[in-house]
């Protein structure tokens, strides 16, 4: 475990670096963040519709009712991707648009939207990468208990089958879940994400049923898509560092690593929960909700692991009740870290983004090398990396964002270094294509390579979009 004082620093990207031939360059979005059309063509509320419409939950009372209106402007957005020259687009399917109640047959108008989108992507030479779940659970399933209930995992497998039957002839790359840690621990633990519940045991139950849902969905996909299709999951692997090299701080990092990372990589990639996780949470639950065969179901062979990285996590043993306001996941009087109440989170040193997240590419390098060591036969893809800054359009209509260019350049240099040192990294997806609804932050944070003027919907490629376009077209990372 590398401490903050010992952390490696990636070399400055002062010379051009060429990525391997076939390296996949893409960009990414999520359905609730961009689509809008919240009540059109049969779509019913998701947990994020309900959460965002609850006073006090989202900054400025913002909702995704319109978002960036991608549901009506999808052709324009695909044209922007083609202009950027990216080879792939990672998007998510809205479960309540396809299967509004979370049960029963699909709504064809919902599927037709994704059929048109995928066809347009293929026509422009852009590979579609479909994520089945990016947090928008149908509200009716939450009303029935949500992810803490086993039935939700079973419903997810049925939904995966509907999506595969409709799009399996077009989509060759599938992701089951995006960041299940956020779904479980922010949604049911701290309550800063939908559905806003604050029950540590429910959070652990949700984590297990997300693991189960992943395995069931992989099986549903494998049963329906062509043999050359690829299946994956995307995890926001936390790169956890102890504040000091003391035994206490090192153990604090171990606890958070178990709750943040190994709670998913254990079942999904090894077929077992780590023993230390079970011990750390034994005062909360005996994990009797794990049934015989569940772990074998969760442990399905994958074609690659999606990795989302933005910033490292810095922890220590607090000696009393820990603080969670510096963990980067929003403020709450309830913890998203069950069984780790004595762990304190600290702001890592250095410059920060508009989210208050430390800018530290060395964390991405170290994370990739750890994953390459732990899972040497599993290819890796960076499925999200990017930053929010205080972007604005100048009087001439230009958006200059040198901070984002520097951020992405530094992190791509870290990826290149990891590849040189033996990590099997196959691609990079910039988050995000568009400025959009940033969950509890509403529209106050801009991650996009493309600026969105929300009152008009006008799209303006930022300087970073033009810079990233050159990298994606050439496969060469320019020097600083």
Residues with active-site annotation: 179, 384
Alpha helices (H) along 147-246: 150-167, 180-181, 200-222
Q: How far, in Å, CA of 308 to CA of 179, rounded? A: 8
Q: Which residues contact 323 (CB under 8 A, 6 or more apart)?
A: 344, 345
Whether residue 191 contacts residue 334, with contact meaning beta carbons closer than 8 Å, is answered with yes
Burial class of residue 292 in the structure, from the number of CB atoms within 10 Å of its CB (0-12 exposed, 13-18 middle, 19+ buried): exposed
Q: What is the DSSP string of 58-88?
A: SGGG--SSSTT-HHHHHHHHHHHHHHHT-SE
Residue whose C-alpha is closest to residue 300's, from 371, 229, 218: 218
Q: How far, in Å, CA of 22 to CA of 402, rounded? A: 28
Q: Nearest-5° angle of CA 268, CA 357, CA 371?
A: 30
- In the three-class reduction of DSSP (H, G, I as helix; E, B as strand; rest coil), residue 183 is classed as helix
Residues 105, 64, 57, 343, CA torsion sign: positive
CA gyration radius, the chain: 21
**Which token pair is 209?**
């049923």
- In the three-class reduction of DSSP (H, G, I as helix; E, B as strand; rest coil), residue 349 is classed as coil
**Which token pair is 339?**
């069984």
Residue whose C-alpha is closest to residue 365's, from 425, 315, 314: 425
Structure-token match 């965002």, residue found: 52
Q: How far, in Å, CA of 298 to CA of 213, rounded? A: 7
């Amino acid at each position: 475990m590398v401490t903050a004082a010992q952390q490696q620093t990636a070399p400055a990207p002062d010379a051009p670096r060429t990525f391997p031939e076939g390296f996949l360059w893409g960009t990414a979005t999520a359905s609730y963040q961009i689509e809008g059309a919240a009540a059109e063509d049969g779509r019913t509320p998701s947990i994020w519709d309900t959460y965002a419409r609850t006073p006090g939950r989202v900054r400025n009372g913002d909702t995704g009712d319109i978002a960036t209106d991608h549901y009506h402007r999808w052709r324009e957005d695909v044209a922007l991707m083609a202009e950027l020259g990216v080879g792939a687009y990672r998007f998510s399917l809205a479960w309540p648009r396809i299967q509004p109640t979370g049960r029963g047959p699909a709504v064809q108008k919902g599927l037709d939207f994704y059929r048109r989108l995928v066809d347009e992507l293929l026509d422009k030479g852009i590979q579609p990468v479909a994520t089945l779940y990016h947090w928008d659970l149908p509200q009716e399933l939450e009303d029935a208990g949500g992810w803490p209930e086993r039935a939700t995992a079973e419903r997810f497998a049925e939904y995966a089958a509907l999506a595969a039957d409709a799009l399996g002839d077009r989509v060759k790359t599938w992701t089951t879940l995006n960041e299940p840690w956020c779904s479980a621990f922010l949604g049911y633990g701290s309550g800063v994400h939908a559905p806003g519940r604050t029950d540590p045991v429910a959070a652990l139950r949700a984590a297990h049923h997300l693991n189960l849902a992943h395995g069931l969905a992989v099986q549903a996909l494998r049963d329906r898509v062509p043999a050359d299709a690829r299946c994956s999951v995307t995890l926001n692997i936390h790169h956890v560092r102890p504040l000091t090299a003391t035994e206490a701080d090192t153990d604090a990092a171990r606890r958070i690593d178990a709750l943040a990372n190994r709670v998913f990589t254990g079942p999904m990639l090894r077929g077992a929960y780590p023993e230390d996780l079970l011990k750390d949470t034994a005062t909360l639950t005996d994990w009797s909700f794990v049934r015989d065969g569940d772990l074998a179901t969760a442990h399905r062979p994958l074609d690659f692991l999606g990795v989302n990285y933005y910033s490292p996590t810095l922890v220590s043993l607090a000696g009393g009740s820990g603080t969670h306001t510096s963990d980067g996941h929003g403020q709450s009087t309830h913890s998203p870290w069950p069984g780790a109440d004595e762990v304190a989170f600290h702001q890592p040193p250095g410059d920060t983004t508009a989210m208050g997240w430390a800018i530290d590419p060395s964390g991405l390098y170290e994370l990739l090398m750890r994953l390459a060591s732990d899972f040497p036969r599993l290819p890796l893809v960076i499925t999200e990396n990017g930053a929010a800054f205080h972007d604005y359009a100048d009087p001439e209509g230009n958006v200059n964002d040198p901070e984002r260019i520097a951020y992405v350049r530094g992190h791509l240099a870290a990826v290149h270094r990891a590849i040189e040192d033996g990590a099997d990294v196959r691609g990079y997806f910039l988050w995000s294509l568009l400025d959009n609804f940033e969950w509890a932050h509403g529209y106050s944070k801009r991650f996009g390579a493309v600026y969105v003027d929300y009152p008009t919907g006008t799209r303006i490629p930022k300087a970073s979009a033009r810079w990233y376009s050159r990298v994606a077209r050439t496969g060469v990372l320019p020097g600083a």
